[in-house]
Structure formats: structure tokens, C-alpha cells
Amino acid sequence: MRPVEIVDYDLCWPSEFGAECDFVLRLLGDRVDAIHHIGSTAVPGLAAKPKIDMDAVLRADGLIAESIERLRETGSYDYYGDPYGDRRWTFTRGRSRGIRLYLCGPGNVAHQERILFRDWLRSHRDDADAYAALKLGLAAQARGDFQYYTNGKSAFVAGIVRRASAEMRPASIDHD
């Protein structure tokens, strides 16, 4: 088993995302509404697995099947289906280093939560530092067990998403 590799933030990650974004747009064209850099590589200064995570949000759910086929037929990515059951279809290129591309439709809850988490860490350095420490500890303990590593982050991620969601809710209005 290969170890879970966590590296220091790489200043090249944003440009790597940009190049991959251009590639995906060339493949999928106007099917795509937006492509977002997500995950730890999208948070400046955050240690991460050296794999660029990105969500390609399609204009409509009805475009998912043809977009999956388009990406598969190019042979540019390995396809993994919807492994988390959250209606995000997963593609990768490269093993430990590379790209992880998720396709989803508009309004996808998992995508929205990932954006909340990313944006929270971008604006809350203490939480980003705590997340980095958690990831480094889990990677050392995991001994190549990626499921152990991922599961170990779940409670932290869920807590941040709850906090970020609560902060976004409009304050209640008193009616006298």
C-alpha cells in the first residue's frame, strides 16, 4: 500500500487548476456552467495531498450522462462512477499526484458543502491550521489506508460545514 502523502502548499496548484479547467471546458464546452477548485489545494497555505480537486457543475442534470460519456471516450481520465452516492461522478488522472474531477448538476448539495468548507478555511486560518494538523496526524496513522484517512476527517469537515451554514443564515427578524 502506498502511504497517504501530505505535502506543503504548492504555489503552482492554482495554475494547474487553471490549465485543467481549460482542458475540461474544451472537452465539455457549453454543458458546463462553472468549474470550481475545491479541496485543500484550493486553500492558500494549506498542506494537502498533491491532487487537484475540482467540481464541474453542469448547466442541467440532463447533461450528466452525455458529459460522462464525453470524458470517458477521450481516455484522459479514469472513471469511478458515483462512489459516495451524492450525485457527483468521479474521474481521476494520476495516482497520488494529479487531478480528481467531479461532475455534478446545478444545486448539488455535496458541491455546495465543499464550497462552504473551502471558503471557510480560506477565511479562518486557525481552522485551516487545525485541519492541516489533523490531516498530517491521520496520514501518519493510516499506513496507506485511504479510507481510514478520509473517515478520520469526516467529523471535522461536518463541523465546519455546520458552522459555515449557520453563519450564512440570515439573522432572525423581530416583529414588534
pLDDT in tens, 7-40: 999 999 999 999 999 999 999 999 999 999 999 9
C-alpha–C-alpha distance, residues 145 and 138, integer Å: 10
Cell numbers placing 65: 450522462
SS (H, E, C) 76-104: CCEEEECCCCCCEEEEEECCCCEEEEEEE
pLDDT in tens, 78-120: 999 999 999 999 999 987 789 999 999 999 999 999 999 999 9
pLDDT of residue 174 exceeding 60 = no
pLDDT at 170: 57
Cell numbers placing 107: 444545486
DSSP per residue over 17-67, as a string?
HHHHHHHHHHHHGGGEEEEEEESGGGSTT--B-SEEEEEEEES-GGGHHHH
Ramachandran angles phi, psi of 3, nearest 5°: -70, 155
Read off the pTM.
Answer: 0.91
State whether residue 157 is helix, strand or coil: helix
pLDDT of residue 171 exceeding 60 = no
pLDDT at 176: 44
Is the separation of the CB atoms in 55 and 29 below 8 Å? no
Residue 167 pLDDT class (50, 70, 90 cuts)? confident
C-alpha–C-alpha distance, residues 55 and 33, integer Å: 11
Identify the CATH assignment for 13-168 out of 3.30.70.100, 1.10.10.10, 3.40.50.300, 3.30.460.10.
Answer: 3.30.460.10
Strand ranges for 83-176 from DSSP E: 88-93, 98-104
Which run of H or of E encompasses 36?
strand 32-38
